[in-house]
Amino acid sequence: MAKYMLIWRNTDESLKAMMDTPFDEMLESVGRFNDELIKAGVLVAAEGLDDPSTGVVVDYSGETPVVTDGPYGETKELFGGFYILDVASQEEAVEWARRMPAVPGSKCEIRRVPGIEEFPQDNEWIVRERAWRERTGQL
């Protein structure tokens, strides 16, 4: 099994379409999908994100990090939420993404999440992180 992150991306048009969908209808379709993931035993985490205009951006391109309000770039560069699934393969993650309720124009990027076991186990920082994960029930 491997973890994959499904990153949901919107365009201005798909975000408007989503916002025009009645909230109860959206909750119903997403809730049904989440329930399928739970029943299949593959859901690790799932979160939607608040409107990008409420966030801040920390820009490290200069000598000192600069913090600005609101989103950066275009809507298509931002993501609105994510799922983390523990599945057997990238192909299985793709199959789940195909079933995700999404409005036309949105996209889903799928990326593998490397596990701690893939890093040098004799590294001091990996040893500390492993101990933290064990203490918090993540391993």
Tokens of 82: 């994510």
Kindly indicate the confidence band of residue 7, based on its pLDDT and cuts at 50, 70 and 90: very high
What is the domain partition of the chain in residue ranges?
2-135
Letter for the amino acid at 59? D
pTM of the model: 0.82
Architecture (CATH level 2) of domain 2-135: 2-Layer Sandwich (3.30)
| Phi–psi pair at 49, nearest 5 degrees | -110, 150
Residue pLDDT, tens place only, 46-97: 998 887 778 888 889 999 999 988 766 666 667 889 999 999 999 999 999 9
What does the pLDDT read at residue 69? 86
Average pLDDT over residues 22-27: 88
Residue predicted with more confidence, 25 or 74 = 25
